[in-house]
Amino acid sequence: MLNDRQRHQRLMKMKQYSITICIIFGCFLLTFCQHPSSGHHRSDYVLPEVKPAQYVQYKKQAVDLQDSDIVRKIHALDCYFEDKVRNHAFNGAVLISYKGTPIFERYYGYKDYSTKEKLTPFSSFQIASTSKTFTSGAILQLVQQNLLSLDDTLQKFFPTFPYKQITVRMLLNHRSGLPSYLEFAELYWKNKKKFMSNQDVLDLMLKYKPKILNQPNTHFRYNNTNYVLLALIVEQVSGMPFCDFMHQSIFVPLGMMDTWVYDPLSVRPSATKGYKGSRWVEDAIVYTDGVTGDKGIYSTVRDLYKWDQALYAGKLIRPDLLGQAFTPQSFEKAGNKNYGLGWRVNDQADGTRLIYHNGWWHSYNSVFNRRITDKTSVIILSSHYSSSVYKIQPVWDILYGDGVVAHSEFE
């Protein structure tokens, strides 16, 4: 039996232990973004209450990995990617989920070619424009909390913004008509040795007012400027840096521990290196690498699969908002290829729909394809540039039979 003094000592130790755990976890969150935090959290911003365990519910209808047809598919996929390695210098990671069950996960090549360090499941790749799916997700979370509307004009967030009648929705679906920052920055950003920020992009637009590409909401023009501004809107509405918001609202709740927003001044040990050419020349970092929202997220195939499953679960973002994101909204021409809110859309002849977003930046290629009708996903991350990475029609043919699924081969 414990006396009163012993009980008191044990109680004090338990309190100290609890406090220590809280401090460690708090530091863990703060160290995700390796820069000083310049904003204050809004009192009306509520972190989503999400647990990673909620995203495994769709695995209940598991595919039998011992089934002869599944074994045949796995063998065919293995041969396909091994052939790519031999003939196209494919260097990357692959995860394929068939009808909600991962059936294929492989890592080919090097994290660092100079040291011959091999890729592992924890090696992070620049996912380039696939980052736009996360920026869109952040905006939809804020819409979900009634902190902004898709029909808000940009003057609500940037009062002196010189381009009128542009809404948040038009940024998301690339119908804003705004000029491309990758073009006007080349003219107006004088110090090419200094990394630009998203705020720098906005400041250049305010100062120089580069010419629009077209009037708002008249044409679809895929444009990275849109997502740079969306990241700034996330910062202004949430009251925290974009990096912090992404970690606290998406990456950490989903258990995406190897996913982070790139900071060129503080590169993480898990980052892969991007290469080009047959001589494996390391691709250079440039001044626009400091800009995020349109690109800049590093991730792994396993973490992207968690994002994929979270979207199916509908816990992070309401199904009705996801429905809008997955609905064609580019309207530029008739056809089965379209763009929603941060996602490309490819409608199939049988009425099914592919929701996807590929990416390219420097020597990185990313493929994130989702057949949402039966929860099949094809995730490919590459750090040695090859346009063949996007040519995944053979993968769909292996999974479903020749021509059953028709895929678009572009970033």
pLDDT at 72 over 80: yes
pTM: 0.88
Domains by residue range for the chain, with CATH: 52-400 (3.40.710.10)
Q: Please enumerate, as own/partner, the contacts of 317-321 that have beta carbons within 8 Å and a separation of 24 or more.
A: 317/137, 317/140, 317/141, 317/144, 318/144, 321/140, 321/143, 321/144
What pLDDT does residue 351 have?
A: 83
Query: Above pLDDT 90, what percent of the chain?
Result: 73
| Run of H or E residues at 337 | strand 337-339
pLDDT in tens, 231-249: 999 999 999 999 999 999 9
What pLDDT does residue 267 have?
A: 86
Q: Please enumerate, as own/partner, the contacts of 402-408 that have beta carbons within 8 Å and a separation of 24 or more.
A: 404/350, 405/348, 405/352, 405/354, 405/371, 406/336, 406/346, 406/348, 406/349, 407/346, 407/354, 407/369, 408/337, 408/344, 408/346, 408/354, 408/356
List of residues 6+ apart from 25 with CB closer than 8 A? none
pLDDT at 396 over 90: yes
pLDDT in tens, 119-135: 999 999 999 999 999 99
pLDDT at 260 over 70: yes
Of 101, 24, 21, nearest to 57 (Cα)? 101
pLDDT band at residue 358 using 50, 70 and 90 as cut-offs: very high
Q: Mean pLDDT score of the chain, rounded to an integer?
A: 88
pLDDT band at residue 49 using 50, 70 and 90 as cut-offs: low
